[in-house]
Amino acid sequence: MNDGMTDGLIQETWLRVCNNLRAEVGETSYKSWLKPMAVREVRDGKVRISVPTRFMRDWVMAHYAERLENLWCDEMPEVSSIDVFVQTERAASLPTSKKVEEAPKPTQDINPKNNSYDSYRNEISAPLDARFTFDQFVVGKPNEFAHAAAQRVAEATRLQFNPLFLYGGVGLGKTHLMHAIAWHIRKADPSRTVMYLSAEKFMYRFIRALREQNTVDFKEQFRSVDVLMIDDVQFISGKDSTQEEFFHTFNALVDQGRQIVISADKSPSEMEGMEERLKSRLNCGLVADIHATTYELRLGILLSKSEQAGVEVPRKVTEFLAHKITANVRELEGALNRVIAHAQLVGREISLETAQEVLHDLLRANDRRVTIEEIQKRVASHFNIRMSDMHSARRARSVARPRQVAMYLAKQLTSRSLPEIGRKFGGRDHTTVMHAVRKVDELRESDAGFAEDVELLRRMLEG
């Protein structure tokens, strides 16, 4: 049943793949999404992996399929694809299929019946980052409103803004503000229970509770907190059962006069795949957005961070960084840290030249960040089709193929996820994008002319 490989070898390889992936995605994501997977067989170059629920399968396919495939391929070149399928726990324990000892076992659970609710709650609530306080948040035009709203919620003795909905692009300080609220409340009144967790974790917990049939306990946990904060709720849009549960939890808490704080990368109204009634409930509190950084804010953040690090950074260097690293605060912070670390390692003063040298890769990436629209335009004109065909439902090969090429290049040249790419192509599903990527890869192998075309487009787009 396996391609001439022993089960032992396969499971060993799987363990290595898991460990690599764990190092990449971090412990939390690993435990939530990857640990429950089990390899069932390797046949015809295809690795068959089982997961306990359909939802998990979709999640793993959307977020980790490609990485898993590459990691397998690194370990076993004969592997060309992976297949994730649903197998319930009971079926999984039948003698025909083996499970690995260490890696893919469901995480050990705390049974709330045997433990105090507190310990259960502490386990659900994610740890707070000690650096994410109001003190360390630099306020500027783009974030002053969100900051003021967060501060009001943190200091409020009665409910004023409920829910507080913070939204903005990645790396702009949403999580920082949420942690700052939590720190503040915990310090001001330790008797109030604050629960902070990612929507991803909320969802995972909920699904696990469903599986283990203890949703009643699950609900109780959330419904007994004073302040509930859920980070990155865009993750639950489109996930109907989780949304439903979230909605009920949310209503119950609001009705009981508990504070809710939510973050997302879009406003409630812009959230696709979210139920109208949930949208409107989210909209009825205070919605505060964090805008993209300005030069002044970036400069302020650099000054504050270098002061905290106790390092003298020449004005020229901070100005240079504030001009060049514009994507978000996380990247800006990373750039500054790299410059500082480098100077300390080689024992030299920080200068403009060393900064440019140390950051050359980052600077280049910031210089030419290709957008999906540019890719679509370029590919459309290359193949002589209309730009609108990138979004249309037409399936004729003459437009479908260029569309696939554009999806492929979007995957290669941008950091967008498969679902994000799908959305930009007329709201297509992530599996369509995945299929396109595979198809183009196949064609590049078999058709030299086609491969050249793709290569040419890539070079033009990379500038």
Residues that bind Mg ion (CB under 5 A): 174-175
Q: Which residue number is nearest to ligand ADP in terms of Cβ?
A: 173
Q: Which residue number is nearest to Mg ion in terms of Cβ?
A: 175
- Give the shortest CB-329-to-ligand ADP separation in angstroms: 3
**Contacted by 330, from Mg ion, ligand ADP, none: CB < 5 to 8 Å by type:** ligand ADP
- Give the shortest CB-175-to-ligand ADP separation in angstroms: 3
Give the residue with the Cβ less far from ligand ADP, 138 or 340.
Answer: 138
**Contacted by 172, from Mg ion, ligand ADP, none: CB < 5 to 8 Å by type:** ligand ADP
**Contacted by 72, from Mg ion, ligand ADP, none: CB < 5 to 8 Å by type:** none
- Give the shortest CB-231-to-Mg ion separation in angstroms: 6
Geometric angle at alpha carbon 331, from 325 and 337, rounded to 5°? 100
- Give the shortest CB-241-to-ligand ADP separation in angstroms: 26
- Give the shortest CB-99-to-Mg ion separation in angstroms: 34
Give the residue with the Cβ less far from ligand ADP, 26 or 190.
Answer: 26
Give the residue with the Cβ less far from ligand ADP, 138 or 443.
Answer: 138
Give the residue with the Cβ less far from ligand ADP, 214 or 294.
Answer: 294
Give the residue with the Cβ less far from Mg ion, 170 or 387.
Answer: 170
Look at the chain and count its residues. Answer: 463
**Contacted by 143, from Mg ion, ligand ADP, none: CB < 5 to 8 Å by type:** ligand ADP
Give the residue with the Cβ less far from ligand ADP, 215 or 294.
Answer: 294
- Give the shortest CB-262-to-ligand ADP separation in angstroms: 12
Separation of first and last alpha carbons in the chain:
48
- Give the shortest CB-226-to-ligand ADP separation in angstroms: 23
Residue 167: phi and psi, rounded to 5, are -140, 155
**Contacted by 171, from ligand ADP, Mg ion, none: CB < 5 to 8 Å by type:** ligand ADP
- Give the shortest CB-173-to-ligand ADP separation in angstroms: 3
**Contacted by 132, from Mg ion, ligand ADP, none: CB < 5 to 8 Å by type:** ligand ADP
Question: Three-state SS across the chain?
Answer: CCCCCCHHHHHHHHHHHHHHHHHHHCHHHHHHHHCCCEEEEEECCEEEEEECCHHHHHHHHHHHHHHHHHHHHHHCCCCCEEEEEECCHHHHCCCCCCCCCCCCCCCCCCCCCCCCHHHHHHHHCCCCCCCCCCCCCCCCHHHHHHHHHHHHHHHCCCCCCCCEEEEECCCCCHHHHHHHHHHHHHHHCCCCCEEEEEHHHHHHHHHHHHHHCCHHHHHHHHHCCCEEEEECHHHHCCCHHHHHHHHHHHHHHHHCCCEEEEEECCCHHHCCCCCHHHHHHHHCCEEEEECCCCHHHHHHHHHHHHHHCCCCCCHHHHHHHHHHCCCCHHHHHHHHHHHHHHHHHHCCCCCHHHHHHHCHHHHHHHHCCCCHHHHHHHHHHHHCCCHHHHCCCCCCHHHHHHHHHHHHHHHHHCCCCHHHHHHHCCCCCHHHHHHHHHHHHHHHHHCHHHHHHHHHHHHHHHC
Sheet of 194-198, strands arranged across? 194-198, 227-231, 259-264, 164-168, 286-290
Asked whether the beta carbons of 124 and 112 are under 8 A apart, the reply is no
- Give the shortest CB-199-to-Mg ion separation in angstroms: 11
**Contacted by 138, from Mg ion, ligand ADP, none: CB < 5 to 8 Å by type:** ligand ADP
**Contacted by 173, from ligand ADP, Mg ion, none: CB < 5 to 8 Å by type:** ligand ADP
Give the residue with the Cβ less far from ligand ADP, 290 or 433.
Answer: 290
Residue 262: phi and psi, rounded to 5, are -135, 145
Give the residue with the Cβ less far from ligand ADP, 173 or 285.
Answer: 173
**Contacted by 333, from ligand ADP, Mg ion, none: CB < 5 to 8 Å by type:** ligand ADP
**Contacted by 268, from Mg ion, ligand ADP, none: CB < 5 to 8 Å by type:** none
Give the residue with the Cβ less far from Mg ion, 57 or 174.
Answer: 174
Give the residue with the Cβ less far from Mg ion, 68 or 138.
Answer: 138
**Contacted by 352, from ligand ADP, Mg ion, none: CB < 5 to 8 Å by type:** none
Question: What are the residues binding ligand ADP (CB under 6 A)?
Answer: 132, 136-138, 143, 168, 170-176, 301, 329-330, 333
Give the residue with the Cβ less far from ligand ADP, 292 or 352.
Answer: 292
- Give the shortest CB-178-to-Mg ion separation in angstroms: 8
